[in-house]
Amino acid sequence: MSTPKAKNPGGMSTFNILHGFSEAIIRGMRSSFLSDSDYHHLTQCETLEDVRLNLSETDYADALQDSPSITPAELQKAAVEKLVTEFQYVRTQSVEPLSKFLDFITFEYMIENVMLLLKGTLSGRDINELIAQCHPLGMFRESTMRSIPTFESNARGYMDLYQTVLVDTPVGPYFSMFLQESAEKLGGEAYSIIAEVEIEIIKSSLIKFWLEDFHQYVLSCEGETAVLMGELLAVRADTNAINITLNSFGTPLNEPAMRADRSKLYPAIGHLYPAGTHLLNEVSDEESLGRALELFPQYCGIWNVHNAGGGEKSIDDAFYERDVQMLELAFEGQFHFSCFYAYVKLKEQEIRNLVWISECILQQQKEEINKFVPVFSQHAPWRGKKGGQGR
């Protein structure tokens, strides 16, 4: 996909002319994150109504006041809707190239929504139920959302799906790239590809194309945006490559004859690319994966935490901790777009924290309740103080 070159957002002398107001909004929203004392009070709650009561003193008060019940699912829904409202407000106040940058953030959720609809359709689930589970940041027009699951399982049906997805959605070019790549490999028609490939492989391919395209765009922005956001996306690409390798164990993708297909799912950006991804393509189990990551200290440390966790901490937990640290640092500089991306991802972590705490209370697993990663915590390990372990 060819991404148009972005206008340089400028530095100290010109950035605020176009983007100063939007940046001021997002930096003001930083104060809405839950504090250490908020988390302390939440972990002391005995019921979910206690959680609601404690959140009434935070920025989530208005989001929860109309909720008929307080469950982990309802809490997550209200928190996500609050995040979407804030994001959409910032988007309406932005102009190019920031507006295009914000659109790139939403493309990930569009891909996830399409994959959810396709996977749900193949398993015979109700379309209304599927649409209700879609992320609000990745919604298309309702007619498009409802047209995706209506294809029939034949050549004509797949062609209709191809045309609907590729023509009517902003992420269509990524589907086009995937179908073209798969058709060349299989020597078949583009519309028959989806029936022959697992949905999760399709999703990994689309996320790969999105990451590469997003990375190209931020580099074209130049300045601090290219440096800081380029690093965030590079680490995100490496995380995907490691997880793809780890999740392939015990599946056909781990067979020697299929590893070439696995390697095509690795993004062509990041610190691992190309030497590290070549090593990943040769691994066959967790032991060999650990040996491959020994050459990359930033990931070797995370892998050692995973191995030493004894089931207490997964590699995802370690990645979450690393991500929060990097995303918090994105707020330290100025005159760049990285803080907009960081705000969305840090709010997602905060929502995961709220769901985790409420689930532990609901299931009476209070001994597990502190396994989350607080955001902007003064007790975070990277601030030189002792902090709790995260999830």
Query: What are the domain boundaries of the chain?
Result: 14-56+222-391
Whole-number pLDDT of residue 156:
52
pLDDT of residue 290: 94
pTM: 0.92
Q: Calculate the average pLDDT of the chain.
A: 88
Instruction: Give the per-residue pLDDT at 51.
Output: 96
> What percentage of the chain carries pLDDT values higher than 70?
87
Dihedral of alpha carbons 166, 171, 173, 177, sign: negative
pLDDT grade for 277, boundaries at 50, 70 and 90: very high
In this structure, of 157-166, 168-177, 230-239, 292-301, the range with the lowest mean pLDDT score is 157-166
Q: Are 228 and 334 in contact (CB under 8 A)?
A: no
Choice between 130 and 186, residue whose per-residue pLDDT is larger: 130
Residue type, position 348, single letter: E
Which of the two residues, 25 and 172, has the higher pLDDT score?
25
- What pLDDT is attached to residue 1? 59
Asked if 240 contacts 32 with a C-beta cutoff of 8 angstroms, the reply is no
368-389 tens-digit pLDDT: 999 999 999 999 888 764 444 4
State the DSSP string of 260-297: HHHHTTS-S-SSSTTHHHHHHTT--SHHHHHHHHTT-H
Q: Residue 154: its pLDDT value, please?
A: 46
Q: Which pLDDT value is given to residue 197?
A: 60
pLDDT at 390: 41
What was the pLDDT predicted at 11? 74
Condensed to tens digits (0 to 9), the pLDDT of residues 330-357 reads 999 899 999 999 999 999 999 999 999 9
From the centroid of its chain, how far is CA 45?
29
pLDDT digits (tens, 9 = 90+) for 76-98: 999 999 999 999 999 999 999 99
Who has greater pLDDT, 124 or 223? 223
What is residue 222's predicted lDDT score, i.e. its pLDDT? 92
- pLDDT, residue 219, reads 96
How many residues comprise the chain?
Answer: 391
The tens digit of pLDDT for each residue in 100-159 reads 999 999 999 999 998 898 888 777 889 999 999 999 999 998 888 888 887 765 445 555
Q: d(Cα 55, Cα 322) in Å, to the nearest integer?
A: 27
Tell me, what's the pLDDT at 134? 96
Residue pair 71/48 in contact (Cβ under 8 Å)? The answer is yes
DSSP, res 349: H
Alpha-carbon span 355 to 73, nearest angstrom: 8
